[in-house]
Amino acid sequence: MLSEQQIARFQHQGYLVINDFINADQRQQLMSQAQVQVDGFQPVANPTIFTTDQQQRVSDAYFLGSGDQICFFLEPEAVDQKGQWLVPKHRAINKIGHAQHILDPVCKQVIDQLPTAGLCEQLGMQQPRALQAMHIFKQPGIGGEVGLHQDSTFLYTQPLSCIGFWLALEDADRHNGCLQALPGGHRIPLKQRFFRNQQGGASFATLDASPWPEEPLQMLEVPAGTLIILHGQLPHYSAANTSGISRQAFTLHYVDQACAYAADNWLQTDLV
Ligand SMILES: O=C(O)CCC(=O)C(=O)O
C-alpha cells in the first residue's frame, strides 16, 4: 500500500523509489530462473541484437513476435559484423522478454506475489494489465546504454496509461548503469510512438519535436530489492555498464485496459 505522501511524490516527480519491495529469496528465484532460460537458449548464427543506442530496436520478425514469447536479445558488442560470437552466451544476453511473467511458471509465481496491480490502482489505473516483462542483465563491461525514452512510446494507449515497475535484483549505482530520470519530466508531452509499419517492421513517429529539457537527470542509485515506479511519460535512461559488476533488473509494464490499446503497437498479445 502506498501512503498519501508516496502517491503525492509520484504525482509530483513522475517516479517513486520504494526500498525492500522484493525480498532476497524472490530476487534469487528470478535470477536463477533467468539463468535456466539462458541455458535453454540455442543461439543462431545471425542473432537478433537489441540495439539500445538511440532506442533503435532491430524490428525484425523475432522482435515483433516476442510480445507473447520468451525471447533473447543480445548486446551489440556480443557479435561481430559477420555474426560471429565474441563472448560466451551467458555474457552476451542484454535481456529476456517479453512474456515470461505469464509463460514461465517460476517467474509467474514470484511476480504474482508482488502487489504491483494494487499499486497501479492506487495510482489511478482502473483495470491494470501486466503487458510486458523484461529481465535486463546489464552485463559487466558489455551491458549497453538505454537511450533517454518514455515508456508510453512503446505501449501507447488513448489516453496514455503506461506505468513501469523496475525491480533492482542487484545493487544499482552510477558505475554499473543505474536508472537515471528527469524529475517532473512526466509533464512534458509524449515525444514519439513506436508502431508497426505497413512494411512488416516497426518505426518511430514523432509526436512532439521539441528537444528534451536541458536539466540534469537524477541518478537513481538503489540497493537490491528496491522498486522504482515510473510514470509512462517520465524520460529515463541508463548508461552502459563499464564496471565489472553486473546490475540485473526485472521490469513489468502495465497499461489500463479501460484505455484504448493501439492496434499498431509493436506488442500484440492475447496472453493474460
Ligand atoms: O534497466 C534499464 O537499464 C532500463 C530499463 C528501462 O528503461 C525500462 O524498463 O523502461
The string of pLDDT tens digits covering residues 166-178 is 999 999 999 999 9
pLDDT band of residue 45 (cuts 50, 70, 90) is low
Order across the sheet with 146-149: list the strands: 146-149, 236-238, 179-181, 218-220
Cell 492506487 belongs to which residue? 122
Provide the percentage of residues in the chain whose pLDDT is more than 90: 84
Cell of 86: 565474441
Per-residue pLDDT, 48 = 57
Is the CB–ligand 1 distance for residue 236 below 6 Å?
yes
Residue type, 155: L
Per-residue pLDDT, 153 = 98
Q: How far apart are the first and last CA of the chain?
A: 24
How far, in Å, from the CA of 30 to the mean position of ligand 1? 17
Residues 6+ apart with CB under 8 A from 33: 104, 106, 107
Where does residue 93 fall: left (phi above 0), alpha (psi -120 to 50 degrees), or beta otherwise? beta
pLDDT band of residue 200 (cuts 50, 70, 90) is confident
For the chain, the average pLDDT equals: 93
How do the domains of the chain map onto residue ranges? 4-40+53-256
Report whether pLDDT(111) > 80: yes
Is the CB–ligand 1 distance for residue 100 below 6 Å?
no
Cell of 265: 503497437
The mean pLDDT of 115-123, rounded to a whole number, is 98
Per-residue pLDDT, 177 = 98
pLDDT band of residue 66 (cuts 50, 70, 90) is very high
Which of 55, 145, 238 to probe ligand 1 with, by most ligand atoms within 8 A of CB? 238
Look up the pTM and report it: 0.95
Q: Which helix (H) or strand (E) holds 166?
A: strand 163-168
pLDDT band of residue 52 (cuts 50, 70, 90) is very low
How far, in Å, from the CA of 135 to the mean position of ligand 1? 10
Per-residue pLDDT, 154 = 97
Residue 151: how many other CB atoms lie within 10 Å: 25
- Helix, strand or coil for residue 211? coil
Per-residue pLDDT, 82 = 72
pLDDT band of residue 76 (cuts 50, 70, 90) is confident
Per-residue pLDDT, 180 = 98
pLDDT band of residue 209 (cuts 50, 70, 90) is very high
pLDDT band of residue 54 (cuts 50, 70, 90) is very low
Per-residue pLDDT, 272 = 87
How far, in Å, from the CA of 122 to the mean position of ligand 1? 23
The answer to whether the peptide bond before residue 183 is cis (omega within 30 degrees of 0) is no
pLDDT band of residue 59 (cuts 50, 70, 90) is very low
pLDDT band of residue 42 (cuts 50, 70, 90) is confident
Instruction: Give the homologous superfamily in CATH for domain 4-40+53-256.
Output: q2cbj1_9rhob like domain (2.60.120.620)
Per-residue pLDDT, 55 = 38
